[in-house]
Structure 1
Amino acid sequence: MSSAPNHNELPLPDYDHLPLGTLPSRISGLDEQGVAALLEYETQHGNRLPVVQVLQERLDALRQGATPSGSVQQDTPEVSQGHAGSKVSPATSGPPMNPPSHGDPTNPAQPR
């Protein structure tokens, strides 16, 4: 097998971050060469079995006469753009809470 394509040479943007559920619709517009490049890249890098299976099934279908359908979508709304992680910060946290008095000797009981 020849060397796998570089990440920047792949026919799908953010390929490594696409959810598996969107992969079949994402690759439907690719030709045999595009799917083969993704399959080669995947086997050389992540080698995730479910992804390899989806790519192999599509490649087999194209080799048996299936035609690419639609266009290759370049934007990836399902991939987080920009900020990653939690948006929680001291500015967005709730008010401080006192622990219950029955477990903390420094917190006297509150009248009822």
Structure 2
Amino acid sequence: MTSDSALPLPDYDELPIAKLQHQIRALSADDIETLIEHEQQHGNRTPVLELLRTRRQQLAEGAEPSGGDQWDGTGKPADTPHGSPVSRDSAAGPGAPLRHGVAGQTADRDRP
């Protein structure tokens, strides 16, 4: 049984499949095998197992692990300061709904 700390990807169980797809490109065949065993014992998610087995096959056929660090986080939102990054300059203006889809028939449209 593989502990979470022994897995080649931090927070593996929380990674969305789209992130996992990119991050496994840097892993060796042994690391992929470790993830397959962990997945079979824990989540046993078919799409994830297919992804990992496909990558294992690619490595067996001569593909090389990609260089560099594929890790850019788990995809979870980072801690951010309170408040919105949206400014009043970029926000949409106020507007009344159109009456029957014709702008000229709605009195005071887009006027405060």
Structure 1 residue 70, shift from structure 2 partner: 2.3
3-state SS, counterpart of residue 47 of structure 1: coil
Q: How many residues align?
A: 80
Length-normalised TM-score, structure 1: 0.64
For structure 2, which runs of at least 5 residues remain unmatched after alignment?
80-112
3-state SS, counterpart of residue 20 of structure 2: helix
Choose between structure 1 and 2 for higher RCO, CA contacts under 8 A separated by at least 6 residues.
1
Answering whether residue 48 of structure 2 is matched by residue 51 of structure 1, we say yes
For structure 1, which runs of at least 5 residues remain unmatched after alignment?
83-112
Cα distance in structure 2, aligned partners of 1:7 and 1:23: 15
- Root-mean-square deviation (Å): 1.9
Length-normalised TM-score, structure 2: 0.64
State which of 6, 9, 22 in structure 1 corresponds to 2:6.
Answer: 9
Structure 1 residue 71, shift from structure 2 partner: 3.0
Partner amino acid, structure 1, of 2:4: H
Structure 1 residue 75, shift from structure 2 partner: 4.5
Would the aligned equivalents of 1:27 and 1:72 in 2 still touch at CA under 8 Å?
Answer: no
Partner amino acid, structure 2, of 1:31: S
Cα distance in structure 2, aligned partners of 1:19 and 1:52: 13
